[in-house]
Amino acid sequence: MGYSSIQGALSRSSSQGLAADAQTLGNLKMAAGKDGKAAIQETAKQFESLFMRELIKSMREASVKSGMLDSPGGDLGTDLLDQQFAVQMSGQPGGLSEMIALQLTRQMGGTTPAPGTATTATAAKIAAGGGIASGAISKATMPSQAEVKPMRAPTESQSNFVQKHSKVASEVEKTMGIPAGFMLGQAGHETGWGKFEIKVKGGAPSHNLFGIKAGASWTGKTADVTTTEFINGEPQKRVARFRAYDSYADAFKDYARLINESPRYAKAREQTGSVHAFASGLQKAGYATDPDYAAKISRAINTTLAIQRAQA
C-alpha cells in the first residue's frame, strides 16, 4: 500500500468518525454522558483503537527488521498504516470495546450486557509483516479463544494508581526527561499498582515505588523486606534492603536520577521512544532478576499509556 493510499484510507476512516487520537476520545467520553448507549459504544471503540495502535507498534518494534527499506518516509508510512489497522480492528464482536462499554455502562447506571473476549493474533500478524487486505476485517481473521489469551481492560486500581501519581510523574518528566507513562507503568508493576508498597519498620510507607535497593553508597533511610530473587532462573526468597523516601516525589526523582546517571542504564535511557526497547534495556542492565521482567514492564507501560489517554 503506497503513501497516498494510506492517506486515502485514513481520510475515509476519519469521515466515518473513526479517529485514533486522545482529543477525540475525550470528546466522545463527554458525549457519552448525554447521548446514551450509542455514544458509549463509540467511545469504547475509539479507546480500543488507541490501545490496538500501541499494541501493534510495540509488536512491530519487537520483530526482526532487515534494515534495507528503513527510512524516515517509510517509518511515517508504517505509522499511518498501523493507525488504519488499529481503527479497522476496533469494534469487532467480542472485542475489547465491549468490555470498555460494559464498564462505562456500569458507571452510568445502565443495563450491562455480558462482555466478550478480545484477542491479539491479528495485531501480531500485522507487526510480524503479514498484510491484511483493504476493507473491514472479518470474524474469520480473528482467532479462537483457545489460540490466544484475552486482553483485559485497565482495572480500577490501575486507573486510580495512574491518576494518583500522574502529576508528580509529569513534573519529573519535564525536568529529567524520562516519560511519565514509563515511570508510572514500572512503578505500577513493582507495587502491584499500589497494593504492595514497601514499608519501613512499624508499617509506615517507604514511598519506594520502584523497588530500588539500598547499596553501600546509600546514606538515607532504609526498609528491610523479604523479596523474590531469581538465582540461575529459579525464584528464591531473600531479605533485601531497600531505599526509603520522605515522599513519592522524592522516589520519582531518585528513580529518574538513577536511570539518567548510572552508566549501566545508558542503553535504556537512549530508548525512551520505544516501550519495548526501554523495558528490554532495563532488563539487560540488570534492573531486576526476573527473566520475564521486560515483557511485564512493557505490558504495564502500555496499560498506563492507554489509561493516560482515557484520562486526558
Which residues are annotated as catalytic? Answer: 229, 254
Contact (CB, 8 A) for 205 and 195? no
Q: Distance between CA atoms of 117 and 95, rounded to whole angstroms?
A: 5
**CA torsion, ordered 114, 119, 90, 136, to nearest 10 deg:** -110
Written as one string, the DSSP assignment of the chain is --HHHHHHHHHHHHHTT---SHHHHHHHHHHHHHHTHHHHHHHHHHHHHHHHHHHHHHHHHHS---STT--HHHHHHHHHHHHHHHHHHTT-TTSHHHHHHHHHHHHTT---PPP--B--HHHHHHHTT----SSPPPGGGSPPTTTSPPB-PPPHHHHHHHHHHHHHHHHHHHHH---HHHHHHHHHHHHTTTTS--B-TTS-B----S--B--TT--S-EEEEEEEEEETTEEEEEEEEEE--SSHHHHHHHHHHHHHH-GGGHHHHTTTT-HHHHHHHHHHTTS---TTHHHHHHHHHHHHHHHHHHH-
